[in-house]
A and B are shown apart, each in its own frame.
Chain A
Amino acid sequence: MSASNINGIDYAAVLDSVGKSFQGKAALKSLSLKIPTAGVFALVGPDGAGKSTLLQMLCGLLTPDSGSLEVLGVSLPRGLAGVRPQLGYLSQHFSLYGDLSIDENMAFAAEIYGMKNYLYKRDELLDMTGLTPFRKRLADRLSGGMKQKLALACTLVHNPRLILLDEPTNGVDPVSRREFWKLLRGLGKLNITLVMSTPYMDEAERADSVAFIHEGKLLMTGSPGEIRRSWDRKILEIFCDRNRAAMPVLSRLYPEGDLQIFGDRVHLAMLQDGPEEDEVVRCLEDAGIRVKSSGPVRSGLENVFLSMIQKEEAVNG
């Protein structure tokens, strides 16, 4: 068995009411979550939300205080020894040896996992990550993006089925990030499950499925499209000559609205029964603010996450 099958769907990991505290402080609060097999699953949340705790639990480094946990069809911590060879974990500080070359880092990773015949796999991974031309170079002398790819290759050398990545793109620029995502998607297509944590919403938009984690709790899970469609608001984008001056006018017109000011525009998020676009424009023009253009825009995951946190805070006072 390599997955938990529930209602005909295969899950790489299933958490049921998992709780975990450190020195009396709750890191995870009765969290239930199902992670589908294959593809990229993003755990999204701010620092301290419980993402790292969750990842370390999935790879058996931490044990739940309460609740139950199944990984690749096996109950943890009991079945850990059997499932461990199928797991790969990339920590926040990708543990590379700076004074070893790419080849030597790969050899070391293979040794740890007890891989005897890893050379074919090594060459395949170095080709996949584009690192082949640099294999004699010391890890310390690689660029940030290359280090990140080498760390990923080291995590993959023992053919894991489930890979856990803790904020792998932290500090990585958009160009390297794009390449890294191509690799992740390629692995997802090979039936591998990748669970990554990230504090960034734009990154979460690229994942196959997403879970919002906040203060140790799961707020929502689903595909990015499902999550966006679940939002009960719509956004009107307005470009006007004085954005700041527009804010009080808009909040008077529609007090239930959620206003966000960007560098060159304003977003007004409203419930479906909010004012029509021409009404908003007329109201601004009456106040002496010239509207250059306006129109509906698509909501992002950040909008939905923000609403959910606001609701949580309203409930908890």
Chain B
Amino acid sequence: MGEHIIEVSSLVKRFGDFIAVDNVSFSVEKGSLFGLLGANGAGKTTLIRMLCGLMAADAGSVSLAGIDVLKNPEEVKMRIGYMSQRFSLYRDLTADENLEFFGGLYGARDTEGAAGRSRILDSVGLAGMENTLAGDLPGGISQRLALACAMSHNPAVLFLDEPTAGVDPVSRRRFWDLIHERAEEGTTVLVTTHYLDEAEYCNDIVLMHSGRIVADGGPDEMKRRIISGPVFEISGSGASFLESVLEDESWVIEFSLFGDSVHIQTEEGMGLIDVKSRLLTLAGNNQDFEIEHITPSLEDVFLRIIDQSESEGEAVI
């Protein structure tokens, strides 16, 4: 295992009687993509503010790139970069001027000279666009410029908040390829998002609920662990009939509706052939359907864990 760039230990933050972060501990490996997930009010924002040295803690410790963040909050700020959902670039400055401005703000060396900036812009695919106003750049390209600005000072840890919201799939793909390259070079990336498609790009995930970490692991490992039975998709014209009768079947554990299909999770160990024959019996005259074995999504995992946490009687607001 590699070295840990972030170590959070027994961290607590209270606001009056409300415990926003409740004894949270985790560590993040250097060069990994780490996903911090949770519903609104789960405590993510409070936790991130403490990681960035923007908020004091009531108990516990945070170390980031070897800095004791709670003791030396100012020192950590030069070691982190931040890029938000709707990236904050100056629309009336050119790409080059934006990079110079943000680099100056962070005290970056590499962006002081035009040659250094040109090399950075080149590395994120903005060659030839140095003198274009940021406001005139298409969404996917201005997103990569924002990434270059957030990383101008070579931060040890890069925070991304819903980074690919609103960009097209081709640009999204290019963005995550860039992020994987930076991670390969040693930058650690911490992602927060409500769109769990984005969390699929992470190596490790923690899920927060009511101020606590309620689950952690790799995306695939979490899917296997949390969604124990197989998941099938039923589609075709017979699906809408099956939708009305499946709810009463005891072997169907979970049941969710999609546009023109139904997803079911069955008891453990059930195979495609077994499920199909049961459905054919139930379907009567509505035999026109298809069935396919599918991988559950991280959203399925997320919702399942939240449901379990709530049924265990934890306070939820």
Q: Chain A interface (Cβ within 8 Å of chain B)?
A: 40, 45-49, 143-145, 171-178, 185, 199-202, 205-210, 214, 223-226, 237, 239, 244, 260-265, 297-298, 302, 305-306, 309-310, 313
Contacts and interface: CB of A to CB of B under 8 A. Distances in A.
Could you say which interface size class chain B belongs to?
Answer: 35 or more
Interface residues of A, dominant DSSP: mixed
A203 to B, nearest CB: 9
Contacts of A172: 40, 194
Contact of A205 (B167, B220, B258): B258
A199 B38 CA distance: 20
B194 A171 contact: yes
A225 B194 CA distance: 25
Contacts of A302: 169, 197
B218 A202 contact: no
Interface residues of B, dominant DSSP: mixed
Interface in B28-84: 33, 35, 38-41
B203 A143 contact: no
Contacts of A206: 257-259
A284 to B, nearest CB: 17
B239 to A, nearest CB: 9
Interface stretch (B151-159, B274-282, B299-307): B299-307
Contact of A264 (B168, B195, B219, B294): B219
Interface stretch (B89-97, B98-106, B170-178, B247-255): B170-178
With most chain A CB atoms within 10 A of its CB, the pick from B166, B236, B299 is B166
A313 B195 CA distance: 27
Contacts of B166: 46-47, 199
Interface in B124-174: 138-140, 165-171, 173
Nearest to A224: B259
Given A263-B219, A264-B218, A309-B169, A202 B197 contact: yes
B139 A223 contact: no
Contacts of B139: 46-48
Contacts of B201: 261-263
Interface in B186-231: 194-197, 199-205, 218-221
Contact of A239 (B35, B220, B233, B258): B220
A49 B168 CA distance: 9
